[in-house]
Chains A and B, each alone.
Chain A
Amino acid sequence: MSLLEVNNLNISYPTRKETIVASKNVEFTLERGEILGIVGESGSGKSTIANAIINLIDPPGEITNGSIKIDNNELRDNEELIQSIRGKKIGFVFQDPQTSLNPLFKIKEQLIETIQTHLNLGYQDALNKSIQLLKEVGIDNAEKRIEDYPHQFSGGMRQRVVIALAISCEPDLIIADEPTTALDVSIQYQILELLKDLTKKRNLGVIIITHDMGVIAETTNKVIVMRHGLIVEQGDTKELLTNPKSNEAKSLVISVPPTNKKIDRFKLISPDGKEITSDSKNLTKNIIKTWGIRENKNEKLLKLKDVTKIFDDNSLAINISFGLKGDSTDKVVKAVDNVSFELFEGETLGLVGESGSGKSTIAKIITGLVRPTNGEIFYNNLSLYNSNRKYQIDKSRGQIQMIFQDPYSSLNPRFKVRDIISEPIKFFQKNISYTEFTQNVYDLIDIVGMTRQSLDRYPHEFSGGQRQRISIARALATRPRLLICDEPTSALDVSIQAQILNLLKDIQDELHLTMLFISHDLPVIRQMCNRIVVLKDGSVCETKESEELFNNPEHPYTQELIRLMPKIESII
């Protein structure tokens, strides 16, 4: 008898215009001691299945058919049974540890409340059990820390508390929905190890939902690949990763950036199942004509010297209190601390580090969105900031452009694509003729691989990957020399990521762009960059040629990062 048995599950969301089928004929089983991974692109129905098991589907969604059985007890439409099972027999770990704990209650209260709801224990027993649980998930000094509020824990610690909550009533099944997506690599590693450990020790069944193939490779025994609500392939993890059969699985596996070698272009799977390398070529001919031929003389393009940025929470308070100055030192955050590096024409420099390491702040300082507290930045040997620390945008004249992380907020939703792309052209070429202008817009939309019809649509009509292409077209509209990519693919699915990264490489090669590539994703950085700067807490750990860095990391922090990154190759 299986722990969990899902049969012929159909879930749909009826809306006014159409009924969206979120899962169709889904069938799988899970045994005790097994970790099952569910992967798929966003919108493929991964989370819907998890929510269906604990009956948390948001209306108007409903289960239209099928059955969900735990130890042979039918859960569907049995609200009473689910109430008693949810939290007791099934534990749930959510994606974002910032919001899944109630900030107004102490950890102690949240744990004891859950325990006393399901287990027949007195207060003292429940407290003792809670402390025991916190110790089990690896929280030091549990007797003291149990009195703390959630905000007193770091992100990784909070996720541990959430896991402690999930296992507090000795469940048989844990469902973890993207449990490490919001966490840094080193903490991700610890959390996954903890989950593996608990599975073995307590003989649990675990379902991990993720889009990260590295996580799948390192933790799961079985894997399900989903697309549009259908299971397209399922099987043993090793078998599926080494020998995928369906197009979707192939495309998921093949587009993962390899961690152990550098490849020229990512391979993609075309809709008919063939391997192709690149879908954008010969698109740049027109644009090179208008831009003029460029050469890279391998000269220094950008130079940062001792750049420091201090975020001071008190600056405003001091202004108001007219000198009634409190202790202002305790709120000072050094986001960037004495960072220096150089960027040569035509190369791609990677900035890598965990959250809070100051990567994005450096990008913002270079583009003038944030003023540095100290230090100097030279573009083509001209200082970008004058003596009053004011940004001199005319020194770069639009030659520095940026591509942003979030494709959903980086395009103005009230502008048509045509207006988004044409605004910078009009701004920099005031006397351009109408035909030349239209040709320019067409060239740009061609080069990023979109149809010309898309010019008359609004951003919300496009998917994340397409929006990122529009974003690239906008950045290219000013004819930049330096392109800053701030986590350009971290919000995208892995196969889309491969397409966008290929596109960036193509554009760079043909237009001789210099790139500053910012990411927390080491495999991506390895594929994209010639040289890499490793950042930690705002300061530089080491700067090296990228292959050299991956083969021979010197700094202990770099070694740690490289050791802990989830590797899809670990299983193959």
Chain B
Amino acid sequence: MLSKTFNKIYDTDIGYSFFNSKIAIISSAIFFIILLCSVFAGIVAPYNPFDPATVSLMDAFTPPMWSEGGSASFILGTDQQGRDMFSTMIYGSRISLIVGFASIIFAMVLGVFLGVTAGYIGGIYEIVVMRLTDVQLTIPSILMALLVYGIARSIITQSMHDEMAMYVLIFAIGISEWPQFARVSRASTLVEKNKEYVSASRIIGLSNILIMFKHILPNILRPILVIATIGLALAIITESTLSFLGVGVPPTTPSLGTLIRFGNNFLFSGEWWITFFPAIFLIVLALSINLLGDWMRDALNPKLKKR
């Protein structure tokens, strides 16, 4: 049964391209291992770094197990509060991935909606939407996120800050990423809307909403999927950057960026592992998603197909 499904997948062009690309297999394997670890962090991680009962200040600054003074109970050492680095990173990647996925979905929904409607309706509405994307693309996305973050903080009351921090972050990153989706989906919609199946739907009398989202949208999903994958890596890095700058998630629930920032203080006093391992982890995560996105772009684009 299983081999039958495998054969069926292998038989499709995408499946064939996937199983014949070492990069795609390796990077997706790494990504899914990280994803599963972070989803089942409670089972995978040896300690719960957020439970004060398991954390002891006595264990602070333990180096990784293979270096002098290391302990087998803390594989990658501990940070300044005595938290196990390995566990903290797993929990941290969970925050990073949640923020990454949520913000990219937010950007995708907003961007695709505006892009498809702009491409289909046209006229003044299209001009306004597309000029808006142009303006926003002149502002670096990190700056945009910082700006949104700053404004949001001043609106939300002080006591709510920590609670709302993650949502603000998702909103800030999502808002800075939507123009990509709007541009790509508008361009694809312009191609699709001149095809005759759209004319046929209009002659039948279907409503514009139905034509846009039932007929056109499924036909433009491929390029959107590609930029969503690459955008996910970008969103995770943006989140880490913001957290590194101290404007991201609160220190009580550290993400990978927060961990790197903490460790940065101890980099020159000899405790390199506190910043080194989260940084490597972040690079591996972002790289695996990016490589997966690269492969997807090539595989879904018939023009780039190898002959």
Contact = CB atoms under 8 A, between A and B. Distances in A.
A368 B197 contact: no
Contacts of A475: 200
Contacts of B218: 414
Q: SS class of chain A's interface: helix, strand, loop or mixed?
A: loop
B196 A320 contact: no
A427 B195 contact: no
A400 interface: yes
B219 A398 contact: no
B160 interface: no
Q: Give the most central of B196, B203, B218: most A CB within 10 Å.
A: B203
Given A406-B196, A412-B197, A412-B215, A424 B307 contact: no
B197 A410 contact: yes
Given A393-B205, A398-B205, A410 B200 contact: yes
A424 B199 contact: no
Q: SS class of chain B's interface: helix, strand, loop or mixed?
A: helix
B53 interface: no
A423 B201 CA distance: 9
Interface residues of B, number: 18
Contacts of A415: 215
A404 B199 contact: yes
Contact of A405 (B196, B201, B206): B196
A468 to B, nearest CB: 11
Contact of B197 (A58, A405, A411): A411
B202 A369 contact: yes
B204 A424 contact: yes
B2 interface: no
A320 B126 CA distance: 13
Given A319-B124, A427-B206, A474 B219 contact: no
A402 B307 contact: no
Interface in B20-42: none
Given A16-B16, A58-B307, A320-B127, A402 B200 contact: yes
B197 A423 contact: no
B204 A412 contact: no
A398 B16 contact: no
Contacts of B16: 16
A409 interface: yes
A414 B204 contact: no
Interface string A468-484: 00010011001000000
A367 interface: yes
Contacts of B127: 320
B205 A402 contact: no
B203 A412 contact: no
A411 B200 CA distance: 8
Nearest to B206: A427
A401 interface: yes
Interface in B136-181: none
Interface in A372-408: 393, 398, 400-402, 404-406
A410 B203 contact: no
Interface string A268-283: 0000000000000000
A131 B161 CA distance: 79
B215 A402 contact: no
A427 B205 contact: yes
B203 A402 contact: yes
Contacts of A369: 199, 202-203
B249 to A, nearest CB: 39
Interface in B182-241: 195-197, 199-206, 215, 218-219
20 contacts: A16-B16, A58-B307, A367-B203, A368-B202, A369-B202, A369-B203, A402-B199, A402-B200, A404-B196, A405-B196, A409-B196, A410-B195, A410-B196, A410-B197, A412-B201, A412-B219, A423-B204, A471-B200, A474-B200, A475-B200
The 9 closest A-B pairs by CB, nearest first: A410-B196, A404-B196, A409-B195, A414-B218, A412-B197, A424-B204, A367-B203, A59-B307, A393-B205
Given A368-B203, A415-B215, 11 more contacts: A58-B307, A398-B204, A400-B203, A409-B197, A410-B195, A411-B197, A413-B219, A414-B219, A423-B201, A475-B200, A478-B204
